[in-house]
Amino acid sequence: MKIDYDDSIASSYDRRYAHDDTTDLESFIASFVDDCDVVAEIGCGTGHWLMHARTAGARHVIGVDPSAAMLAKARRAAPDAALVRGTAEQLPFADASLDRVFCVNAHHHFPNLQTFIQDVRRALKRGGEFLTIALDPHTGADQWWIYDYFASTRDADCRRYPSTARIRSLLEGAGFDNVATSIGQHVPAAVSFSEAVERGLLDRTSTSQLLVISDLEFAHGVRTLHAERPVLRANLRLYATRGRVPEIG
C-alpha cells in the first residue's frame, strides 16, 4: 500500500522526535556529512535530518521528497536547504555532483531500490559516499509492541524493508566499494499505556506500520490495547549501510 504523506501525516510527523532519544543517530549522521561540500538527503520529509546535516558542518544541503506537504515543513525546519519535489528513482542531480547522499527511515518507501542506488552512484563524485539507515525486520532480533498487537505488521515490514544483506548486494552491484553495515541506533523502550496514549503512539499516523494494515486489524489491535493497558515495549535497531564510490574507475 502506498502511503500518502500529503494527507494528514505531514502535520503530525515530527511528534516522533519529541520523545525519542536519537543522540547516537545524530552523531552517526554528523560524522558522515562533516566538512562536506554538497550533501543530499533523499526522502527528506519534514527536514529534521537536513537540519542536523547543516548543523554538523555540511556546507550545502539538498532535500528531495515527493510530498509537497512534507517539503513545506522542511522549509521551516531547514531554511538554508535547497528543496526539490522529486522521486528517488529519478534524482534531480547532474552526474558526479554530490559528495554525500543519505536516507533515514525512507528507502522502504522507494518503489525500486535498485534503480535508486544506481542513480545515487551516477550522482556521486569519485570518493563520494552513500548511507541509508532503517530497520531490518529480517534479522528476527527486534521486539516491538506494534508487531505484538497488530499481527500482520511484521510480515508487512519484511515485504517492505529490504534486508541489509540485500542492500549491500545492490551497492556492490552498482559499483560501490567499502560496503558495510553497522548499528546506527539501538532503541530500547518501555512506555506506560497512559503515556503512550498521551504521546499519540496509538494514533494511526504515528508510524507507517499502522497505515499499511486493514481498518479491521487496526481497530482490533487498539481495542486489545485499551483492554489490557500494557507497558508498550520495544527493542529495535536501526541499521546503517554505507558504500563509497571508488576514487579510480
Per-residue pLDDT tens over the stretch 45-91: 999 999 999 999 899 999 999 999 999 999 999 999 999 999 999 99
The whole-model pTM stands at 0.91
Assign residue 120 the CATH number of its domain.
3.40.50.150
Q: Has residue 65 been placed in a domain?
A: yes
> Which DSSP state fits 185?
E
Nearest-angstrom CA–CA distance, 194 and 187: 20
Q: Has residue 112 been placed in a domain?
A: yes
Q: ∠ CA 108-204-194 to the nearest 5 degrees?
A: 125
Q: Has residue 3 been placed in a domain?
A: no
Q: Domain tally for the chain? A: 1
Nearest to 171 by CA among 220, 117, 135: 117
Q: Has residue 145 been placed in a domain?
A: no
pLDDT for 4 equals 58
> Which DSSP state fits 205?
G
Sign, Cα dihedral of 30, 3, 108, 146: positive
> Which DSSP state fits 139?
G
Residue 45 structural domain: 9-139+161-188+237-244
One-letter amino acid identity for 68?
A
The residue ranges of the chain whose pLDDT is under 50 are 10
Q: Has residue 249 been placed in a domain?
A: no
Q: Has residue 215 been placed in a domain?
A: no
pLDDT for 23 equals 86
User: For residue 212, what is its C-alpha cell?
Assistant: 499499511
pLDDT for 21 equals 75
pLDDT for 103 equals 97
pLDDT for 3 equals 60
Are 95 and 72 a contacting pair, CB within 8 Å? Answer: no
pLDDT for 248 equals 80
pLDDT for 137 equals 95
pLDDT for 234 equals 95
